[in-house]
Chains A and B, each alone.
Chain A
Amino acid sequence: MNQKIYKSADEAITDVCDGATIMFGGFGLCGIPENLIAALKKKGTKNLTCISNNAGVSDFGLGLVMANHQIKKMIASYVGENDIFEKQFLSGELEVELCPQGTFSERIRAGGAGIPAFYTATGVGTLVAEGKETKTFDGRVYLMERALKADFAFVKAWKGDSYGNLIYRKTTRNFNPMMATAAKVTIAEVEEIVPLGSLEPDQIHTPGIYVKRLIKGEKYVKRIENKTVAVNP
């Protein structure tokens, strides 16, 4: 069972080649695969298509890979926290597909579940609907949206075992569980690798079948994007 466990992030991503499509878990900087992103930056792989809800900030998260000019195309829902994104997009260096967040998460879920397309009312009558088929069900117009799949998914969990079963903590779950199902090769980084049998089967969020490689993250910065504390009278 231990063949899924890799020694380092570098070792886990050796076959990620130029032009690959990669999904990245995380909402803002919460629940992002910090160690795999750092390894990808170090590797310098180019012309990537990145599927990630956000683009990090200019000096952390996926922003590091973007600042290194490794990304050709981004599929995302909100990129407003990264100045480099805006610069690269407006100058034409970066191709962008913006997708409503619920449609984005469902496209990934569908990709992992063997559903090639689905209908949603989100985006009807907006720029998002351009060039897409529509169909009316029960008097309401819906858009057809295609599933998303990737060559690799980089996901971050709290705990994992040698079979690749994963448990996420609090709001770090976000897009990670769907992405884990929607790539040819899912690489998970965790804070702790626990002995097989110690995770309660009822509590597992991502069953190990989806995870091909597992590493224990070397370190976690867990940068807080917007620290907010209670104002006490």
Chain B
Amino acid sequence: MTPLTKEQLVKRIAQEIKSGYVVNLGIGMPTLVANYIPKGVDVVLQSENGILGLGPFPDEQDLDPDLINAGKQTVTVLPGSSFFSSADSFAMIRGGHIDLTVLGAMQVDEKGNLANWMIPGKMVKGMGGAMDLVAGTKRIIVAMQHCDKKTGEKKGPKKMHAPPHRGWSGKLNCQ
């Protein structure tokens, strides 16, 4: 089977988004999903650093260092948007008010455990908001490509060597 391209993958995920959803898109490939939300589907995007009603990237003249998304990218907001603190943002997430989240991951196993924040002794980045999103969101999609860019190693092995997030049941879109 030919693996899906990154574009095909994010297009496919975008089809899962329904009108009325509040959606949190993770950093990297998940962010691209926003470009493919079908016309007429009315969604509100949440960014965990304190935005509800995220808009597209700004034009050069509208860049504002005080307005970024969770990937630290400059963004805009849409009419009806709001800003709030990180405690409020995660109350929203943990409290089950977000309908869908799309996350990246380093590895996913066959049971749907995902690993995305450290490799013991080699790399440590931190989990950011991913564990809270996994614990609190109604539906979770993991967006990742099947093979590691550098090593060609499959990212969906039976046993992981990076410590996982566990205890969630998400829908997996892993190609």
Contacts and interface: CB of A to CB of B under 8 A. Distances in A.
A175 B86 CA distance: 6
B147 interface: no
Interface in B103-150: 117-118, 121-132, 134-136
Contact of B135 (A90, A109, A122, A229): A122
A189 B106 CA distance: 38
A135 interface: no
A177 B89 CA distance: 13
Given A28-B72, A80-B126, A90-B124, A53 B86 contact: yes
Interface string B38-73: 000000000111110000111110011111100111
A228 B126 contact: no
Interface stretch (B6-14, B15-23, B160-168): B160-168
B129 A77 contact: yes
Contact of B93 (A77, A102, A141, A232): A102
B135 A175 contact: no
A153 interface: no
Contact of A174 (B50, B130, B136, B166): B50
Given A171-B49, A173-B50, A98 B66 contact: no
Contact of B66 (A128, A141, A171): A171
A178 interface: yes
19 contacts: A28-B49, A77-B128, A79-B126, A80-B125, A100-B127, A122-B132, A124-B167, A126-B166, A126-B167, A170-B66, A175-B86, A177-B85, A205-B85, A225-B72, A226-B71, A227-B63, A227-B74, A228-B73, A229-B57
A127 B58 CA distance: 39
Interface in A53-83: 53, 76-81
Contact of A229 (B58, B72, B165): B58
A30 B50 CA distance: 12
For this complex, into which size category does the number of interface residues on chain B fall? 35 or more
The 3 A-B residue pairs whose C-beta atoms are closest, nearest first, are A102-B90, A102-B132, A80-B125
Interface of B: 47-51, 56-60, 63-68, 71-75, 83-87, 89-91, 93-94, 117-118, 121-132, 134-136, 163-167
B68 A27 contact: yes
A85 to B, nearest CB: 8
B126 A77 contact: yes
Contacts of B93: 102
Nearest to A79: B126
